[in-house]
Amino acid sequence: MAKIDHRTCEPDVVADARQLYEAYIRNCDGKAWDGRPCPTWDELLEKESPVPSHWCAAVLESRALARHRELLASGLGDDEARGTAWPT
């Protein structure tokens, strides 16, 4: 997969990325692995952090994985499903 830039992602991808990031923050009580507070999504954007792009990449990968599973369930073989879900 090519590097993802949140500034060029579709708005629905960015919205889903934000929602997932905020769910992550709620689940870890707003603390990073080392105990420091996690920034808000808006703070990440203000600081021009690459983190929103990483979350957009996770959204796109999750969507491809869901599509792959749908294709497998419809009877496609794994190779054909992978080629459709993750086009090159």
In sequence order, the 6+-apart residues with CB closer than 8 A to the CB of 5 are: 53, 56
For the chain, how many structural domains are there in total? 1
| pLDDT tens figures, 13-56 | 999 999 999 999 999 999 999 999 999 999 999 999 999 999 99
Per-residue pLDDT band for 2 (boundaries 50, 70, 90) equals confident
Domain-located, residue 2: no
CB 87 within 8 A of CB 44: no
What pTM does this model have? 0.89
Domain-located, residue 4: no
**In 10-88, where do the E strands start and end?**
none
Range of the domain at 61: 10-85
